[in-house]
Amino acid sequence: MIPSQKAKKSAKSKLPQLQPSWQLDTPMSEYITCMEWLPNTCVHGQDSILVLGLANGEVVLVNSTNRKVLHREINAHQDGLLSMLIVELENERNFVICASQDGSLSLWKVQKKGDETFQSLELIKLDQHEIDGGQWIESMVWMQTSKKLAVASSNQVHTFSISKENKLILKRTNNTFKSTVSCLAYNQKTNSLAISSYGNILLTDSSLYAKLNISIKGSFQMSSFSEDGKYCICGMLESMAIILNTESQQIVPLSLPKKPSIIKWLYGSSQTCAISSNSSVVVLKSVPLVEMSMSEMDDEEEMDDEVREILSDNEFGFMHPGSVSSMEFVPSQFRKPWIVSACSKGLVRVTDYESGRIVAFLPMGDEKGVSCMKFESDFNKCTIPLLIVGYSDGSLCEIPLNFK
C-alpha cells in the first residue's frame, strides 16, 4: 500500500495558506516535546493555560490568551520530557504528571491563588529504583475509572495511585515481560489496558490482571483503542499494523510504506482513524470489516490479498516532505471532516479525510520542524478550531483554521 499525493504543486499554490494569529516573542530554551491544557477549574476567567515539556527537562506554563510565560521550572528533570498527563480528581485536585528520559516521574499539584491566574506546581519525584534503576519511561497512561497511573519502564509495568497527601503510591508491578514494554494504551469504557512488547499484545484490567494475550511474530511499538474499546490498532516495526477486534479476538493486518509512528482516532469515532508511516499518512475511513484469525496471518499471500481487497475503497494516503511528527483530527464539535498533519520540515497540512483533498497548508520555512500540536480544548472559548503548534527551535504559535 503506497499513499499517493492528492494535490499537485501547481494546485497547492492556489490553496488557502494558514496564518498564525500569534507567536511567543521569545522561544523556549529547547524544542517542545509535549503539551497539555490545564483544566478550566485551574484557570480564572477566559484564560487558557498550556503546560509545555521541553527536551532539556524544563516544564513551562504559558497563558495562550496574553502569550505570557507564567511559570518556568528549569530543573524539573535531568533529561528531556517524553510525555505529560493532566489528572483531574475530586474536590478540584488537579495534577500534571511528567515522564522523562532520565527514568523519573514528577507529580505537580495545580492550584489557584487570589483573584489572579496563578499556577503553583509542587514537584514530587519518585526514587529511581522504584522504576527499574532509571530506565527510560517508555509510556504512561491515566486510568480514569480506577484512578490509577500505569507506567512502562524497561520490561516492567507499574501502577500508582495518588494519595490524599498528594503522593504517588506504588500499587502493583508486572515484571513478567521478556522484552521492553514499548507502549501502553487505555480505554475507559472497557477499563482495559493494552501492553505492547516484542511479539505480544497483552490486554489487562487496570490492576494488570490479564484479559487477553495475543502473540504475533514482530515488534509492537504502539497501540491505540477506538472510543468504544472494540478495536485496538497496534503498530509494528515491520512496516505493518494490525487492527484487533477485542470482542471476537480476530485481526485485520495492514501493510504500511514504513514503520508506523503515530496512531490517531477521530474524536468520538470507533470507525475512522489515521496512521503515520514515516513521511506518509494513511487514513482509514472505516475500520475494515474483514477479519482474520491468528493462524491465517501465517499465509502471507492470502494476507496480502485480503489487505488489497479491504483497502481498495476504504482508505487513502498522502505524503509530507519529511517525517510526520504530529497529527490531530479537528474536534467533532466544529463539524469539519479535516485532519491536520505536520512534519519535520515544518509543513502543516489540512486534509479533508472524506474526499482526500488538501484544503489548506502552512508552507515550510526557517528550517524548523513541527514537534507537537494541540487544539484549544475549551470549545466555549472559540467558534473556530484553534491549533497550537510547537516547533523544534522552541517557538510556539496559534493557527486559526478560519478558511472556508
Grouping H, G, I as helix, E, B as strand and the rest as coil, residue 213 is strand
315-357 tens-digit pLDDT: 778 899 999 999 999 998 888 999 999 999 999 999 999 888 9
Reference 143, options 109, 110, 171, 111; nearest CA is 171
- CA-to-CA distance for 81 and 34, rounded, in angstroms? 7
- Contact criterion met (CB below 8 Å) for 139 and 183: yes
Please give the radius of gyration of the chain, using alpha carbons only, rounded to the nearest integer.
Answer: 21
Domains and CATH numbers, the chain: 24-176 (2.130.10.10), 320-403 (2.40.10)
Residues β-bridged to residue 292: 251
State which H helix or E strand residue 140 sits in: strand 137-143
Cell numbers linked to 238: 515491520
- Angular region, 78: left φ>0, alpha ψ -120 to 50, beta rest: alpha
Hunting for cell 495534577 — which residue is that?
95
Q: How many angstroms from the chain centroid is the CA of residue 378?
A: 18
**166: three-class secondary structure by DSSP:** coil
C-alpha cell of 206? 487496570
List the Cα angle 61/67/72 in 5-degree steps. 25
Residue-wise burial string across 12-44, b where 16 or more C-beta atoms lie within 10 A, e elsewhere: eeebeebeeeeebeebbebbbbbbbbbbbebbe
pLDDT < 50 stretches in the chain: 1-12, 114-119, 127-129, 133, 292-312
- Tell me how far apart the alpha carbons of residues 76 and 83 are, in angstroms, rounded to a whole number: 13
* Exposure string over 183-198, b if 16+ CB within 10 A, otherwise e: bbbbbeebbbbbbbbb
pLDDT at 119: 47
Nearest to 64 by CA among 322, 399, 314: 399
Amino acid 70: pLDDT: 83
d(CA 90, CA 94): 8
Residue type, 262: I
Helix extents (H) in 169-237:
none
pLDDT, position 196 = 93
Per DSSP, the three-state class of 300 is helix
Nearest to residue 58, comparing CAs of 100, 111, 110, 25?
100
Residue for grid cell 516535546: 33
CA–CA separation, 381 vs 18, rounded Å?
A: 20
